[in-house]
A and B are shown apart, each in its own frame.
Chain A
């Protein structure tokens, strides 16, 4: 799961340059109109430009000095630029990340199949990868870089996917099964395959994601819309406050300058969250991409934060792919070393991971026994055992009843202590393999599912987040229950058929829950489509990838856990910055309101609790603070607020304390500090 292509530097020089340019481009009112909060700031900026020009041209001093108006104008312009920069840098980072994924597959030579015949004798022509279209078939041989995403239609190959996933171990991809997809940019290590292109250029998932990041097709998510409405509401309240202040000021015989009106307005409206809102959304998708997950919509990331239930396959997610031998139990009167010898010899030719694990557990090289002319007996469904014959020795290992039958047929009894061992192993979720020599029972090997290290902690974490985990397995209920308990999942589906997943998802959804699942096979596709968040593995079939709303490039089944956290972080960042932004208003009021009225009502200087030097410096300090807080919070917006699984109430308490109380206190300090610095110049 290493992320070799992510770079964790927030501000890379080339990205910053691009973002700076975009900050100016985005000043265009038509672009800014999408963001009501910042659009009103732009209107205010335009007004201040006019006022500045007016004061410069005329000798009217009622609106304050040229320098003061200019300073307010520049600060407002900076506020806009900072907000644009936040969005632009988030876009640039997302694009750079996507580009680096895309770059791996650009301009690779492709062996386009012209006339399809056998594997070797097909007629091919070398073309550029960019000219491949949907439906084209190309051939890849040992050492080739796969030019384009596609599905293997013929052949099997080992493939190095490290360019995408960062995982160096080669993987096997073959036609027909659930692992038939190949990704452009990966390398064929052995054998040859025919691949059918399944997307037109510019229509791959990655392309779609880049479009989402770039904003052209970026749609606001439901939560974002609701928040924008709330922010627009706040903005309107402050339009109201500022407009009505004019007659109030008239009544109190207090002339209020346009600069003061505009400053008060810009300070009060939630510019901090308004300016960072789209950056937060883009950064969420970007973080998903950094975790090597391609999302098809911003909504999917957001939904991930709300998930109630996760469906996880047992094999590969909860347990390490295969069972492992964990213990040898030998019958009374049998020497341990003899039993182990037989166990090892019977597994000598066994290529299955279980067989290998037996040799591993014994830690003996079978060749050291120097057996002459062995005959290997392969496992068949009929005998349900395998083994080895040499001389007049016949060693068999296999399922308990198969071996028992064999022994009893030969007139040997099944030792009571072994029967007991077999029972214990079964009830512990393991699989017993009985070993017999010449039909005499020697002992039993215990095979156990090995639960991935650290997975219990991850489920613990999910439980604290309020997410229920469900294990899906083909095992019988007893074994499933044992593993479920050991791994710490909340529920399991045993002896699962593909439609069981689907039914489980539907049931959960009926009771109002949001369900996520991960899958790769074509038979997973309906369930992936039904789930609220369906994560398809990149190695999976095209059908699965189309059905899900995310694609995991790493093919890592535990990725769902990260996706949930990314989703939560996205919402939290919005919520906390909204709180912070609104809490800031208290200090800004205490800076600006006394400054507005102090000339006509001198006793109001008691409200100037920050002891700011003059009305002008007070207003400027507030506006400057308001502008500077945006770039100061860009890193937080891009990285996201840290999620801690400590329960909703505790989390609310924590965030209220940091961002609510912090939002009240920080601007008092910040404005005072800026005022002191301004005092050096004014």
Chain B
């Protein structure tokens, strides 16, 4: 086996080995059991007292969601004003300008929803102050929001009939103090010692080997890059994200960053198992998600490593598709990252997705279209939960029993929510792409700042993929870009902004609502006729539901994009 392949296998194994104990630890933290981080208790008590939070006040699912939405609203307003005034504020050694309102709207929303679609470039579009108190701040709190939301779901299934599901602010605070900040300190250290900048000084000026004088941007980047991955945010310090040699200096930092982004999503699956004392269910979910990842990883890996058929037709030997890849990282590690960053809603890149092979592009799109194989911190399990409910419903009927999950019957109300959430994702992606296609075809010369006709750098199927990718990435709160798309203008800033909001909050509220409704229902103990949800058979069923729903809704769009390109290139 080649070294590069071993490299990614080892990376994955390390991730799982770290995630398992972390999951156990997370479960303990939220159960309030004794952990080695209990020395932080006084700090948390101080925070609660200072903010006027009564940590013992239990909330029902509605109160949880109201708390979540209100605090997000505050962050939105705060971040918007910092961004539009950043040029005149301090900590701006490079003299970068303030953002235009539409770009600030897009940037604000995009970081608020844990997406990090960046229509600006880190070096020139944002100041150190904004990087720290807007970007890095939001990267921490949005990750904590997602985890706090999924803990509500944990609570819903941990006990018998109840509507008391813990306190949102406690979950939120503990996520920051016990999980995100400690792990980030470790990761930031590893990155800083490998060459990632951590300085408040402005651009450095160096003379290259060619003798040119070059301005090199830097800044307090290491901490931000740590949370960017750990919180599955993905927004880079520099415009080129983790392809940038200062953001991701070598193979080791590449491993650290790719492990960091999968770590909490996998740990949360195990935490779920420990929390509700059903480890087998967690293993099955982990299994389904891992198979899901492999479903996308293997074609991606194969098409990247076999190279571009266009070269073969020209008679040029081309072993691997090196376009858009970093030589220091290699094709295999890039392919692994491409899939991981799309199935998980990170969206950071260590290679240019626009340059990957058509089949790889299709896999990256599918990763975001399913959006639940591991998925973003917290929200991954919430998305998976919606599919799980649909799978439980259909398979419950198939065995001749009113469907039930964890002893609670699934009825019309839960199905209504699950169907709506499952429908929402294709809705915002397809409608967004349809509108942009329509505008592009029928009004190419509209008198906008950037004419629709000059949006796309590539014609034909690839151009279509670029638009489809942009909306898919927004809807999945992923944030990676296919690039090649002129996206910093009013049309794209506003339209993706709305897709981002819709793609974030409804898919959190929906599953939490289902869990809350189920938790309040009568609990039926498991009997011999009950369909067990922790079996391989049920795992296969869930997998089929996820793949079929994604495939059915997106197949025509994928056909016109990457699939047509794939066949054209052959």
Q: Which A residues lie at the B interface, using CB under 8 A? A: 222-223, 225-227, 229-230, 232-233, 236-238, 240-241, 243-248, 250-252, 268, 302, 305-306, 308, 463-468, 511-513, 567-572, 574-576, 578-579, 582-583, 585-586, 589, 593, 596-597, 601, 603-604, 606-607, 643, 647-649, 651-653, 655-656, 659-660
**Interchain residue pairs with CB less than 8 A apart (15):** A227-B393, A240-B430, A240-B553, A245-B556, A306-B402, A308-B524, A308-B529, A465-B528, A572-B398, A578-B397, A585-B548, A603-B564, A647-B528, A648-B532, A655-B399
**Contact yes or no, A593 B412, CB < 8 A:** no
Residues of B with C-beta under 8 A to A593: 555-556, 559
A231 nearest CB neighbor, chain B only: B419
B529 nearest CB neighbor, chain A only: A466
**Contact yes or no, A252 B438, CB < 8 A:** no
Confirm or deny: B423 has a beta carbon within 8 angstroms of a beta carbon on chain A: yes
Complex: A243 Cα to B525 Cα, angstroms: 45
**Contact yes or no, A649 B435, CB < 8 A:** no
**Contact yes or no, B544 A660, CB < 8 A:** yes
Given A244-B433, A247-B441, A651:B402 Cβ within 8 A: no
Given A240-B430, A252-B560, A466-B530, A222:B411 Cβ within 8 A: yes
Residues of B with C-beta under 8 A to A649: 531-532, 535, 537-538
Residues of A with C-beta under 8 A to B523: 512
The 3 closest A-B pairs by CB, nearest first: A466-B529, A575-B397, A568-B400
A252 nearest CB neighbor, chain B only: B560
Given A604-B564, A607-B563, A250:B437 Cβ within 8 A: yes
Residues of A with C-beta under 8 A to B435: 247
Given A247-B437, A568-B400, A649-B537, A225:B528 Cβ within 8 A: no
Complex: A56 Cα to B433 Cα, angstroms: 35
Complex: A468 Cα to B537 Cα, angstroms: 25
A302 nearest CB neighbor, chain B only: B402
**Contact yes or no, A226 B411, CB < 8 A:** yes
Confirm or deny: B522 has a beta carbon within 8 angstroms of a beta carbon on chain A: yes
Count of chain B residues with a beta carbon within 8 Å of a chain A beta carbon: 68
Complex: A466 Cα to B570 Cα, angstroms: 55
Given A250-B442, A251-B464, A227:B397 Cβ within 8 A: yes
B482 to chain A, nearest CB (A): 16
Residues of A with C-beta under 8 A to B411: 222, 226
Confirm or deny: B165 has a beta carbon within 8 angstroms of a beta carbon on chain A: no
A606 to chain B, nearest CB (A): 5
**Contact yes or no, B394 A575, CB < 8 A:** yes
Given A237-B553, A575-B397, A512:B525 Cβ within 8 A: yes
Confirm or deny: B2 has a beta carbon within 8 angstroms of a beta carbon on chain A: no
**Contact yes or no, B552 A574, CB < 8 A:** no
B540 nearest CB neighbor, chain A only: A656
**Contact yes or no, A597 B407, CB < 8 A:** no
Within 8 A of A (CB), among B504-545: 522-525, 527-532, 535, 537-538, 540-541, 544
Residues of A with C-beta under 8 A to B415: 226-227, 229-230
**Contact yes or no, A604 B567, CB < 8 A:** yes
**Contact yes or no, A244 B531, CB < 8 A:** no
Given A247-B441, A248-B433, A574:B397 Cβ within 8 A: yes
Complex: A576 Cα to B365 Cα, angstroms: 31
A659 to chain B, nearest CB (A): 8
**Contact yes or no, A237 B552, CB < 8 A:** yes
A247 to chain B, nearest CB (A): 4
Complex: A465 Cα to B559 Cα, angstroms: 45
Residues of B with C-beta under 8 A to A232: 419
Confirm or deny: B240 has a beta carbon within 8 angstroms of a beta carbon on chain A: no
B301 to chain A, nearest CB (A): 22
**Contact yes or no, A248 B434, CB < 8 A:** yes
**Contact yes or no, B567 A582, CB < 8 A:** no
**Contact yes or no, A576 B438, CB < 8 A:** no
Residues of A with C-beta under 8 A to B431: 240, 244
**Contact yes or no, A656 B559, CB < 8 A:** no
**Contact yes or no, B537 A466, CB < 8 A:** no
Complex: A464 Cα to B396 Cα, angstroms: 16
Confirm or deny: B107 has a beta carbon within 8 angstroms of a beta carbon on chain A: no
B422 interface neighbour in A227, A233, A251, A574, Cβ under 8 Å:
A233
B142 to chain A, nearest CB (A): 28
Residues of A with C-beta under 8 A to B414: 226
**Contact yes or no, A244 B530, CB < 8 A:** no
A377 to chain B, nearest CB (A): 53
Residues of B with C-beta under 8 A to A268: 552
A246 nearest CB neighbor, chain B only: B434
**Contact yes or no, B567 A603, CB < 8 A:** yes
Given A223-B402, A597-B560, A648:B522 Cβ within 8 A: no
Confirm or deny: B322 has a beta carbon within 8 angstroms of a beta carbon on chain A: no
A586 to chain B, nearest CB (A): 7
Residues of B with C-beta under 8 A to A306: 401-402
A222 to chain B, nearest CB (A): 6
A558 to chain B, nearest CB (A): 19
Confirm or deny: B551 has a beta carbon within 8 angstroms of a beta carbon on chain A: yes
A251 interface neighbour in B402, B412, B560, B570, Cβ under 8 Å:
B560
**Contact yes or no, A248 B524, CB < 8 A:** no
Complex: A361 Cα to B69 Cα, angstroms: 82
Residues of A with C-beta under 8 A to B530: 466, 648
**Contact yes or no, A656 B438, CB < 8 A:** no
Confirm or deny: B395 has a beta carbon within 8 angstroms of a beta carbon on chain A: yes
Confirm or deny: B557 has a beta carbon within 8 angstroms of a beta carbon on chain A: yes
Confirm or deny: B120 has a beta carbon within 8 angstroms of a beta carbon on chain A: no
B390 nearest CB neighbor, chain A only: A230
**Contact yes or no, A589 B412, CB < 8 A:** no
With A302-B402, A652-B541 given, name 15 new contacts (CB 8 A).
A229-B412, A229-B415, A233-B420, A233-B423, A237-B549, A237-B553, A241-B553, A244-B557, A245-B556, A247-B441, A468-B527, A568-B400, A596-B556, A651-B398, A656-B540
Confirm or deny: B328 has a beta carbon within 8 angstroms of a beta carbon on chain A: no
Confirm or deny: B62 has a beta carbon within 8 angstroms of a beta carbon on chain A: no
A305 interface neighbour in B401, B532, B557, Cβ under 8 Å:
B401
A307 nearest CB neighbor, chain B only: B529
Within 8 A of A (CB), among B404-463: 407, 410-412, 414-416, 418-420, 422-423, 426-427, 430-431, 433-435, 437-438, 440-442, 461
**Contact yes or no, B527 A606, CB < 8 A:** no
Complex: A382 Cα to B491 Cα, angstroms: 100
Complex: A233 Cα to B420 Cα, angstroms: 7
**Contact yes or no, A571 B402, CB < 8 A:** yes
Complex: A549 Cα to B567 Cα, angstroms: 61
**Contact yes or no, B399 A575, CB < 8 A:** yes
B434 interface neighbour in A244, A308, A651, Cβ under 8 Å:
A244
A240 interface neighbour in B410, B426, B438, B440, Cβ under 8 Å:
B426
**Contact yes or no, A572 B399, CB < 8 A:** yes
B398 interface neighbour in A463, A579, A601, Cβ under 8 Å:
A579
B161 nearest CB neighbor, chain A only: A512
A318 to chain B, nearest CB (A): 20
Confirm or deny: B568 has a beta carbon within 8 angstroms of a beta carbon on chain A: yes
Residues of A with C-beta under 8 A to B529: 308, 465-467, 648
Residues of B with C-beta under 8 A to A226: 393, 410-412, 414-415
B527 nearest CB neighbor, chain A only: A466
**Contact yes or no, B438 A250, CB < 8 A:** yes
Residues of A with C-beta under 8 A to B434: 243-244, 246-248
Complex: A589 Cα to B537 Cα, angstroms: 26
Given A232-B419, A604-B559, A571:B527 Cβ within 8 A: no
Residues of A with C-beta under 8 A to B548: 582-583, 585-586
A658 to chain B, nearest CB (A): 10
Residues of A with C-beta under 8 A to B430: 240-241, 244
- B411, B419, B442, most chain A CB atoms within 10 A: B419
Q: Mark B315-355, 1 if CB is under 8 A from A, else 0.
A: 00000000000000000000000000000000000000000
**Contact yes or no, A652 B537, CB < 8 A:** yes
A512 nearest CB neighbor, chain B only: B524
A447 to chain B, nearest CB (A): 35
Given A250-B437, A567-B400, A583-B548, A464:B528 Cβ within 8 A: yes
Residues of A with C-beta under 8 A to B553: 237, 240-241
